[in-house]
Structure 1
Amino acid sequence: MPAAPLTEWLRGQDDRQLADLLRARPDLAAPPPADVAVLAARAGSRASVTRAAEGLDTFTLAVLDALVVADADRAPVPLDEVAALVGPEVPASRVRAAVDRLVGLALAWGEPESLSVAPAAREAGGLYPAGLGQPSPALDGVDIAAVLAELPDADRRLLGTLAHGSPVGRTRDAAVVVPLERAETPVQRLLARGLLLRRDAETVELPRQVGLVLRGESPLGTVRLDEPPMQLRQHSTVDATGAGEALELLRRAEKLVELWSVEPAAVLKAGGLGVRDVRRLARELDTDDRGAALLAELLFGAGLVADSATATSPEWMPTSAVDPWLVATPQHQWATLAAAWLDLPRLPGLAGMRDAKDKVLAPLSDDLRRPPAPAERRRVLGALADLPSGTGVASPDELADVLAWRAPRRGGRLRDEIVRWTLAEATALGLVALGAITAAGRALLADGPAQAAKAMAESMPEPIDHVLVQADLTVVAPGPLEPTLAVDVGLVADVESAGSATVYRVTEASVRRALDAGRTAEDLHELFRTRSRTPVPQGLSYLIDDVARRHGRLRGGVAASFLRCDDPVLLAEVAAHPTAASLELRRIAPTVLVSPLPLADVLEDLRKAGFAPAAEGADGQVVDLRPKGHRLPATARTRRVGTPNPPSDERLRDIVAQLRAGDTAAATRRGRTVSLAAGGGAADTAATLALLREAIEQQGHVLIDFVDSRGVATQRVVTPFRVGGGVLEGRDDTNDTVRQYPLHRITSASLISRS
């Protein structure tokens, strides 16, 4: 019995099966197909088949290869033939389950005795499905086993190597095909017998028929039925360990912001962050180059740092978004970075590697951009989330092997490396600890950043309100400090070592820094007196008093411009003028006034007040301050992150209804049609009402094109009941429901009759 084409088979599926297909292969639904014929064309395209096959596990791919080897893309094949190719040791139920998976994805269709696949399945699987070469017509009907039995051992060994490896081999013996009696080498003899095929002067190929015979009862080779086992370990401190890593990450991130706020890093000519800047970051943040690159990528992905994009010397520096981030709670700071990493369309692990031209791949450069990266991260975290809570993998390599079995065609040549990079990065973020996913990691994966922040807050230790001051002028914070206390201690002391207990050191420079920020000596004494659980050493009090006694004796101020005049009387007249107040002019010498405002603004206002000042340069010569023209502000580069969401259940129902309507429309004969012009009109509305009333009187059907509230244009076959009040009410024949359609959303209507 011949198999139905894919189009007819899809038309025979119910609405739930079509919705399941569109959910499993969302590329088929964007944009929504007009009818089932369009859906079938998309489902059979090479790009879509390749994309769907990337999600298949090793065994299901073997079954798909068996269908291709059996030429199911040319003629239907029975399930028994497919099972025989997979191997007699494979249970029939496993083959049936794999076929059902392929049928659910529309990669295969038909009944057990009549299975077909799309021709694109052969192209998507490569030139040699299951490692078998192309068939040779010359070997049809030949008893290959008998021919092989007569071959010399050297010839059989050569054929066996090609049968169990790649079917293609390179050899100089293929330069010329000679008769069997003149053949001297195994390759020449096998070419003469037709047991090898010559592809060019240096390439031979093993015919499929020979390969199948040599493989015996395993025509597809060794088929791995189940995924490889993993050694699992149970841990009780996963969340606490992850929270510790998260706090350390935040400390380093804040340090990076501080460094680039003071001294931004240069942007390379080709884009990205230079090797020297990466090493400087690694040194300052007490991490390695890979850790420094990851931090830079995280802050960049979160929009907290950006390329200044100036024409002369662009730099990496914090953005305005970093200030609210710095004052946020630790759990929300963490959630911002974790969410940015999860959706980052880049691979930080590539930083420091070399491309095909031996060029070093720089962090923050476009060379690290990989749009599939978010999906790969979610796949790795999803595999860990499938394990019981607190259960971790013993080795990243074992997890890589499992994921390779689940989707061998995904990830490309970096497939296993991406798994290792993802685990290392997730561990640094506190999403994974001890090889297990944390509660915060599960929440981020399933519910988003808000729930992840709550889970991380429960895992983080409670902030403490005290420190321990030591006699050697060190201050120990036995845990994360309250935000205000952390700011105060960080202002008066420098971090000496970080970890679960942070050690600060008070120095003359750090005390001076606190005084520069506006703190007084009494403020510092009060801080240590009230917040230290240990007695304040006398040496610390002496240090604070000594620095405070010398602090501020020499004063400096900020001035953007100055006015000088050899005539003190004229300068006094300027200082007494009402304009001086708005210009914030202040006398610092009998002949000098200073202002915090730009010089151009000062001169303009003084000229309006009747004075005649002139501008001078550093050499005392008069300079022209007139503007040179308009300037455009530099804009930061825009980034696109994230992946499109799959269609919702409601949207899937709409798409399936549109498919049915399109099929119905294709099978009908159209009669009189009314199309509404852009913007509509009285004549259009009258004609539409007349057509709809005619259909009601005749108890007929109409095909309407309308635009829904989301702006999506669809078709519906409707049996109208009533029209009035600006609404058409009728039965939607595609899903047998009664609906109302606003007349102003109907763009055309046609009387139809069923064919």
Structure 2
Amino acid sequence: MSGTTLAEWLRAQDDTALVALLRARPDLATPPPADTTVLATRIGSRASVARACEDLDTLTLTVLEALLVLDADLAPVPRSAVQELFGSTDIRPAVEHLRARALLWGDDDTISTPPATRDAVNPFPCGLGRSVPRLADVDLTALEPDELRVLGTLAAGPPVGQTKDAAQVVSLANARTPIQKLLARGLLVRRDSLTVELPREVGLKVRGDRPLGVIQTTEPPLTTARRDPSGIDHTGGGEALELSRHVETLLKSWSEDPPAVLRSGGLGVRDLRKLAKDLDVDDRQAALLVELVVNAGLVADTEGVEPEWVPTTQADPWLIAAPEHRWATLAQSWLDLPRLPGLIGQRDDRDRLLNPLAPELNRPGAPRDRRRILEAMAALEPGTVVTDPDELAAVLAWRAPRRGGRLRDELVRWTVEEGTKMGVLAHNAITAQGRTLLTEGPGPAAKRLGDALPAPVDHVLVQADLTVVAPGRLDPELADEIALVADVESSGSATVYRVREGSVRRAFDAGRSAADLHELFKTRSRTPVPQSLTYLIDDAARRHGRLRGGTAGSFLRCDDPVLITEVLSHAAAERLALRKIAPTVVVSPLPLAEVLDGLRAAGFAPAAEGPDGHVLDLRVSGRRIAGKGRRQRVQPTMPSDEQLGELVRLVQAGDRAATTTGGARVSVPGHLGAGPSATLALLQQAARDGRSVLVDFVDSHGTAARRVITPQYVGGGVLEGVDVSYGEVRRFPLHRITSAALVEDDRA
């Protein structure tokens, strides 16, 4: 049976079909093919076929493998023969899908597939071995049970096996093991001294009425449940706020005490565990946060002699941004993260532990796979909960079995886990802000989250045990004041703070007075302020600031000479090199901040003093390095249908040019077209005859391009003519034209 070639079949397709082909397989258009023959060659290349198969579902991929079982890569086969292998399952939609992608071509009586398909898809299609035609009518009825068991195992796939019984050739009379008997009967083929293969014909005979084995013709079921969408969004919003709080804490912690960069790159286990303890999260969540802040450009490697992970200048605008905008930055960073945080804590092929930020976690395809999983969940109705993520993994595996590699199922579980921590998912369902992030981007997603979050509250509830409960998200000003005077004890929909002597001193160190703190709790607490809190503030205030420090190197002053004497008699005085210069004044050569820290560690409560006598806030604002920008993922620009249509017309023009010139092109000299000028003659003749010319040239940006031109004037170093595709008059310097060929007619 003979059929058309791929190039001939392509030439018979209309422009709409070719544009659809180029959109489905964008690698075919880069660089633009010169003609249909080049396009057909590119379609049949192993790499292009493998790439085109990545989006095929299980049934369509099985149909393609069935074509290989019938050797359609060697000679055309009828669709009826393929249908016979599938029984009652309708394969017509799958065949048309493959035809639209040029993974097969020809009419239903002569279907062919590119020769490279076998190598690109599966050397053993449908789990069947290579063909041995002499076994087409093999009879298995005389075989012993143990021989049939071996054949059944190999027929289930893969059809090759390793065995020492293949090492020596024996006759049937001398055969002792089932493998040796089958080799002697010719029902197995010896590939080498340790490998045997089950021929295709024997495998089909063993499988009987299921020649392709068990075929999963439909998508696996996905068990779902319903929840109130607003409840899902509310839970996701809470996680978004928690994420923002954790990242804020991380940035402040690493500003003061940045961790070192490992020699092999990444973050050490000890630093990761310290961070997890500081944030009160597990190691996996801490590792995800580390990956996020680096990918978002909020933290970077100093790249010095002793490199450290330090917040960048981009962290400051992030810290003062609204919560929803903070979240959108982090969520987009996660969506575009070209790495797999789920691998952290596992070991590589050399049994080395994979740390956060390690280069071994790089996976360029991770954003695509992550988005694909989220889009599958976004395709469900709002409020639809996926009961079991493993079922979702099975559905996605059926839809694209060649995507994801060996980590395909783990990617689904990791994405659901990470997405929940990000606030993109909640209760195994996508949130409204997560859906908006996928479809519209971070800006609209931030607005959607802002609309979903409850309005900030302007009050707290002070308890008798010195805890302060924030019954919701505090407005920014109140949140800053409470964070200054109290420490977070627990967080969630309601955050619990605890007021301690140290936290009150921290507020005093920042310039707040006892009156300020009393006014804060009096005006912002919806519950009566307990006396214990009033006493704590007043007692701390009486002790705070009795010692005043200045810069002389530094000095201490106090109206109470007894306290000065007490300080000088303490062991810390010698370490801080304190020296009395007056009954109420002590000086030190050390910086003021170091002196104050030493005295506080010794149990005193000094305060920093400015030139005007007011309290100074000497807290370290944290280190910063120059921002390096967020790790941008390069998004390929998808051409429009008009651009693809133009490419199709140029390919067709290349075909007509090849027909006219016998495939030859005339090269243009590089010195303004002077000299022996076959090219000039060709262009001038085309201008006289009104013929079109296919011109290859290099534009002013150095980019190679191609146009079909009807020359009007050729001379003076330029070609002037009508661009057939756009109907515009264009001028081309002859020295930029690299080749030209006549087109058979004016069609383009």
Q: TM-score range by the shorter chain?
A: 0.7 to 0.9
1:123 match: 119
Q: What whole-Å deviation, never above 9, does each CA across 1:677-722 have from its counterpart, x for those lacking one?
A: 5xx79x89x9999987764443222333345688643222223468
Which segments of 5 or more consecutive residues in structure 2 lack a partner in the other structure? 556-580, 592-624
What amino acid maps onto 2:529 in structure 1?
Answer: V
1:574 match: none
2:30 match: 30
What amino acid maps onto 2:84 in structure 1?
Answer: A
Counterpart secondary structure, 2:310: strand
Q: How does 1:493-572 map to 2 (within 5 A)?
A: 493-557=486-550
| Counterparts of 1:336 and 1:753, CA distance in 2 | 53
Relative to the length of structure 2, the TM-score reads: 0.84
Q: Tell me, yes or no, if the aligned pair for 1:704 and 1:746 is still in contact at 8 Å.
A: no
Q: How does 1:278-289 map to 2 (within 5 A)?
A: 278-289=272-283
1:42 maps to 2:35: no
Q: Tell me by how many angstroms 1:241 deviates.
A: 1.1
| Counterparts of 2:199 and 2:680, CA distance in 1 | 69
2:328 match: 335
| Counterparts of 1:333 and 1:739, CA distance in 2 | 49
Q: What whole-Å deviation, never above 9, does each CA across 1:110-147 have from its counterpart, x for those lacking one?
A: 1111111111110022321111011124425xx21xx2
2:339 match: 346
1:194 match: 186
> Bigger shift: 743-752 or 472-481?
743-752
Q: Tell me by how many angstroms 1:390 deviates.
A: 1.1
Q: How does 1:644-655 map to 2 (within 5 A)?
A: 644-655=636-647
1:752 maps to 2:742: yes
Counterpart secondary structure, 1:512: helix
Q: Tell me, yes or no, if the aligned pair for 2:696 and 2:740 is still in contact at 8 Å.
A: no
1:303 match: 297
Size of the aligned set, in residue pairs, is: 678
Relative to the length of structure 1, the TM-score reads: 0.83
**Kindly tell me: are residues 707 and 528 of structure 1, through their superposed partners in 2, closer, same or farther at Cα, counting changes over 3 Å?**
farther
1:483 maps to 2:479: no
Q: Tell me by how many angstroms 1:340 deviates.
A: 0.5
Q: Tell me, yes or no, if the aligned pair for 1:475 and 1:505 is still in contact at 8 Å.
A: yes
2:709 match: 718
What amino acid maps onto 1:652 in structure 2?
Answer: L
Q: What whole-Å deviation, never above 9, does each CA across 1:230-276 have from its counterpart, x for those lacking one?
A: 11111111111111111111111111111111111122121111111
Q: Tell me by how many angstroms 1:738 deviates.
A: 1.9
Q: How does 1:424-435 map to 2 (within 5 A)?
A: 424-435=417-428
Q: How does 1:585-600 map to 2 (within 5 A)?
A: none
Q: Tell me, yes or no, if the aligned pair for 2:694 and 2:743 is still in contact at 8 Å.
A: no
1:184 match: 176
2:54 match: 54
Q: What whole-Å deviation, never above 9, does each CA across 1:250-307 have from its counterpart, x for those lacking one?
A: 1111111111111111221211111111111111111111011011111111011111
Q: Which of 473, 493, 501 does residue 466 from structure 2 map onto?
A: 473
Counterpart secondary structure, 1:108: coil
Q: How does 1:390-429 map to 2 (within 5 A)?
A: 390-429=383-422
1:571 match: none
Q: What whole-Å deviation, never above 9, does each CA across 1:514-573 have from its counterpart, x for those lacking one?
A: 2222223332222222222222223323322332333233334568999xxxxxxxxxxx
Q: Tell me, yes or no, if the aligned pair for 2:686 and 2:742 is still in contact at 8 Å.
A: no
Q: Which of 363, 366, 370 does residue 370 from structure 1 map onto?
A: 363
Q: What whole-Å deviation, never above 9, does each CA across 1:9-65 have from its counterpart, x for those lacking one?
A: 222222222221222122222333333333222221111211211211111111010
Q: Which of 96, 99, 111 does residue 95 from structure 2 map onto?
A: 99
Q: Tell me, yes or no, if the aligned pair for 2:298 and 2:627 is still in contact at 8 Å.
A: no
What amino acid maps onto 1:69 in structure 2?
Answer: V
> Bigger shift: 370-379 or 38-47?
38-47
Q: Tell me by how many angstroms 1:210 deviates.
A: 0.4
1:700 maps to 2:691: yes
**Kindly tell me: are residues 170 and 694 of structure 1, through their superposed partners in 2, closer, same or farther at Cα, counting changes over 3 Å?**
closer
| Counterparts of 2:516 and 2:684, CA distance in 1 | 86
| Counterparts of 1:79 and 1:558, CA distance in 2 | 92
Q: How does 1:212-227 map to 2 (within 5 A)?
A: 212-227=204-219
Q: What whole-Å deviation, never above 9, does each CA across 1:193-252 have from its counterpart, x for those lacking one?
A: 111111222321111000011111211101111111011111111111111111111111
**Kindly tell me: are residues 717 and 208 of structure 1, through their superposed partners in 2, closer, same or farther at Cα, counting changes over 3 Å?**
same
1:88 maps to 2:84: no
**Kindly tell me: are residues 394 and 492 of structure 1, through their superposed partners in 2, closer, same or farther at Cα, counting changes over 3 Å?**
same
| Counterparts of 1:282 and 1:451, CA distance in 2 | 32
What amino acid maps onto 1:32 in structure 2?
Answer: P
> Bigger shift: 278-287 or 345-354?
278-287
**Percent identity over paired residues:** 57
| Counterparts of 1:211 and 1:61, CA distance in 2 | 20
1:159 maps to 2:158: no
| Counterparts of 1:428 and 1:401, CA distance in 2 | 23
1:238 match: 232
1:175 maps to 2:171: no
1:266 maps to 2:260: yes
| Counterparts of 1:634 and 1:483, CA distance in 2 | 27
Q: Tell me, yes or no, if the aligned pair for 1:306 and 1:636 is still in contact at 8 Å.
A: yes
Q: Tell me, yes or no, if the aligned pair for 2:386 and 2:428 is still in contact at 8 Å.
A: yes
| Counterparts of 2:440 and 2:546, CA distance in 1 | 57
Which segments of 5 or more consecutive residues in structure 1 lack a partner in the other structure? 563-587, 597-632
1:492 match: 485
| Counterparts of 2:666 and 2:363, CA distance in 1 | 53
1:204 match: 196
**Kindly tell me: are residues 234 and 328 of structure 1, through their superposed partners in 2, closer, same or farther at Cα, counting changes over 3 Å?**
same
**Kindly tell me: are residues 553 and 231 of structure 1, through their superposed partners in 2, closer, same or farther at Cα, counting changes over 3 Å?**
same
| Counterparts of 1:64 and 1:98, CA distance in 2 | 9
Q: Tell me, yes or no, if the aligned pair for 2:254 and 2:310 is still in contact at 8 Å.
A: yes
